[in-house]
Amino acid sequence: MNAVFPHQTSKRGFTLIELLVVIAIIAILAAILFPVFAQAREKARATSCLSNVKQISLAMMMYAQDYDETFCPGRYFFGTDAWTWDHYIGPYAQKSGAVNFGTGNNPYLVCPSDGTPRTSTASGKRSYAIPMSFVAPNDLAWKQEVQTGANYITEGRTMAEFPAPASVITVLEAPLSGNRIGHNGTFRAGSPNGQLPPAGANPPVASAKTNHSEGWNYGFADGHAKWMRPEQSARTPGINYTTAFVNANGFNCFGTVVRPCGMWTLSEND
């Protein structure tokens, strides 16, 4: 009797060319999808940062309502004692620990996209600043700082000084190497250019680009917050800016990221 064996077929593996084609397809898909995933992660970080800015803006408004409609001081510095704006809004915002001269850790003061190394770790990061400049005359949201000997005082303005509070910036991103919680040095920025670490910063900064898709998150005197490109915040469409331009409050602004007008100033005609 003859035995009957089932028909046997040999198993065929992938050829080298087929493997290379599959690898190439995977590489192409990765090249397409990874930037999308990175953008999605950055969008989430930007949204979290925007929430921080709005919380700070609202805290500043609540402070003003409790203190005769006057915004909090930008800085009081008396010798070894110093308090900056983040100290004053602490009771009105999400607070974790003290904020007196740099102690404590307040999550709402840190933007998730802030990757700038700090020159000191004596206190946690502070990713935000107030608009203030030493240039006079000055109609930014905070008054020009007054120095008396070794003492420095930056007063907040009254709410009545803001003719259009929805268009005046009161808080902005400033991922600077010296900007940390409670620290009285880098608590301010006088322009979009001042929001960026300077060239040759120590420690060095990997990138001097804005944090979120070439823009920043800004908070306003009425409590709202939004994303804008720096040049959008610094000038008003339709105005012919020159180096001789002076707004209604007597401030000589150029409508540039170095000498801004627009949403940086109180005046409504710039």
Report in angstroms the alpha-carbon separations of 98 from 86, 101, 112, 181, 203: 10, 9, 21, 10, 27
The Cβ of residue 102 has, within 10 Å, a number of other Cβ atoms equal to 20
Residue 18: inside a domain, yes or no?
A: no
pLDDT at 199: 53
Residue 73: inside a domain, yes or no?
A: yes
User: How many structural domains are present in the chain?
Assistant: 1
Residue 123: inside a domain, yes or no?
A: yes
Q: Is the pTM of this model over 0.85?
A: no
Length of the chain (residues): 270
Residue 9: inside a domain, yes or no?
A: no
Q: Nearest Cα to 215, choosing from 225, 228, 204?
A: 228
Residue 15: inside a domain, yes or no?
A: no
Residue type present at position 184: N
Residue 7: inside a domain, yes or no?
A: no
Residue 234: inside a domain, yes or no?
A: yes
Asked if residue 97 has pLDDT above 50, the reply is no
The residue segments making up the domain with residue 242 are 23-203+210-264
Asked if residue 228 has pLDDT above 60, the reply is yes
pLDDT at 7: 55
pLDDT at 130: 94
Residue 3: inside a domain, yes or no?
A: no
pLDDT tens figures, 155-208: 999 999 999 999 999 999 988 888 888 777 788 888 888 887 655 444 444 344
Q: Which residue has the higher pLDDT, 6 or 37?
A: 37
**At 38, which helix (H) or strand (E)?**
helix 16-66
pLDDT at 146: 85
Instruction: State the Cα–Cα distance between residues 73 and 75, nearest whole angstrom.
Output: 5
